[in-house]
Amino acid sequence: MKKYRVNVNGTVYEVELEEITGAATAAALAPAAAPAAPVSAPSGGEQITSPMPGNILSVNVAAGDTVKKGQVLMVLEAMKMENEIMCPCDGKVVSVSVAKGAAVESGTLLCVIG
């Protein structure tokens, strides 16, 4: 093992690297097992996903609520701005996958409208 110090944006990290030689290299380069498939939402519903990374400031609906097109489902804070997540269609909320205060990434499932 060799130790190195790496500076990333002003933060210094100490890392250890192991040199791999010979037969060990082929084993190390073998493909890893595929990660488990993410849990998907119930089929047959309109999946509402996060358009960008941010934090959920409020959740205005719950499972079982009836919603109308254009209704504000949630408020997402991203880059110091509050973004309203609007309902794209009339329907019923099948599930809500996030709670107030949750940090989400782009594409994270927020809720399903059936």
CATH of the domain at 50: 2.40.50.100
> Which residue range is the domain that position 89 belongs to?
46-113
* Domain assignment of residue 76, yes or no: yes
**How many domains, the chain?**
1
Task: Give the Cα separation of 85 and 76 in Å (integer).
Answer: 7
* Domain assignment of residue 40, yes or no: no
pLDDT tens across 9-52, in order? 788 888 887 777 765 555 555 555 444 434 444 456 899 999 99
Are the beta carbons of 74 and 38 closer than 8 angstroms? no
pLDDT tens across 71-106, in order? 999 999 998 899 999 999 999 999 999 999 999 999
* Domain assignment of residue 105, yes or no: yes
* Domain assignment of residue 4, yes or no: no
pTM score over 0.85: no
